[in-house]
Amino acid sequence: MELSFELTTEDLDAFYRHANASAWGLLLFEWGLVVVGLLVVDYFFFRKEPVIGIVVNAAGIGLYVAKKWRKRHVQHDRNVRALVDGRSSLIGPHRLKMSPEGYEHEVGAARVMWRWKQVTHVMETEQHFFLRVGIAGATIIPKRAFSDPSQLTWFRNALPVTGRS
């Protein structure tokens, strides 16, 4: 099966919003690790001086929040700036050639082959499929790219069962 579609700024915006929303679970896990780590430090080093322990914990949490906030906003600003300036190579025509083994994704002159087993997470929304591939890769597939319901059914069946949301 082959799909051809134009990826728009609205598609990328939907992906960024969805990716940020789905990152909250990981963020809560990281928060748990930070709090436990600070409590351990507090217990072993500041048992006799609780005020110093509270100050150290507050400073640690403040630094962690500042670092996370800066990283997220700097990356988001880069993404938005690239979109506004028209420098995002993702905007424009895309072509996917799918087979039972995987799919080939073509954007301009770039072409990548992904096996279905490399897809680590599948997120389906009302208008899109977002496939997380490997550690840092992603494929955005608007549902408008499917010309009929049988293509959509074939695609859903080809996707890995694990990691769906």
- The encoded tokens of residue 85 equal 């300036």
Crossing angle of helices 24-45 and 50-84, rounded to 10°: 160
CA neighbor of 140 nearest in space, from 148, 149, 151, 131 = 131
92 or 45, which is more confident? 92
pLDDT given at position 143: 93
pLDDT tens, 116-163? 888 888 888 889 988 888 776 788 899 999 998 899 888 888 887 665
∠ CA 76-163-137, nearest 5°, is 40
The whole-model pTM stands at: 0.61
- For the chain, domains (ranges, CATH) are 2-7+90-158 (2.30.29), 10-84 (no CATH)
43 or 147, which is more confident? 147
DSSP codes of every residue in 132-143: EETTTEEEEEEG
Q: Residue 75 pLDDT > 70, yes or no? A: no
